[in-house]
């Protein structure tokens, strides 16, 4: 969807540093893809954050999977939430939400520290 002069954002545009240094080891996760919106329940909060919390709080996953695999699992969990939601605040859901992430300059796998459970 093209932007218009009336579109606004609360985020600064992502750009290279003014001195042209290379950005490394950066992972950016988005709760949805353009042109969709990120959904949330008024009582339980963001669908994406709930999926992220469920995956990242599971020691069986976090102790063995690299962070990109965890984000893939988060997207699978998000699709389960989307399928299972029948209504949002009384309205039938007619929405699609899938997450995405971008990796910039990461040359090694990144694992979360082992849990103490």
**Report field, pTM of the whole predicted structure over 0.75:** no
Determine, yes or no, domain membership for 10. no
Q: In which domain, by residue range, is 78 found?
A: 26-104
Q: What are phi and psi of 73, to 5 degrees?
A: -65, -35
Cβ atoms of 54 and 75 closer than 8 Å: no
Query: What is the domain-level CATH number for residue 58?
Result: 3.30.70.1470
Determine, yes or no, domain membership for 62. yes
* Residue 85: burial class (beta carbons within 10 Å; 0-12, 13-18, 19+): middle
Residue 77 confidence (pLDDT): 92
Q: How confident is the prediction along the chain (117 residues), in pLDDT tens digits per residue?
A: 444 545 554 555 555 556 666 777 888 999 988 888 888 888 888 889 999 999 999 988 888 888 899 999 999 999 888 776 655 555 655 567 889 999 888 878 888 776 565
Q: How many domains does the chain have?
A: 1
Determine, yes or no, domain membership for 42. yes
């Amino acid at each position: 969807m093209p932007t218009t002069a009336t579109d606004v954002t609360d985020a600064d545009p992502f750009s290279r540093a003014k001195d042209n240094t290379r950005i490394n080891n950066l992972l950016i996760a988005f709760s949805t893809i353009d042109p969709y919106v990120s959904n949330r329940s008024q009582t339980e909060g963001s669908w994406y954050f709930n999926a992220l919390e469920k995956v990242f709080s599971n020691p069986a996953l976090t102790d063995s999977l690299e962070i990109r695999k965890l984000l893939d699992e988060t997207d699978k969990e998000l699709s389960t939430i989307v399928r299972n939601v029948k209504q949002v605040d009384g309205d039938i859901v007619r929405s699609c939400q899938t997450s995405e992430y971008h990796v910039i300059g990461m040359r090694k796998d990144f694992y979360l520290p082992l849990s103490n459970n």
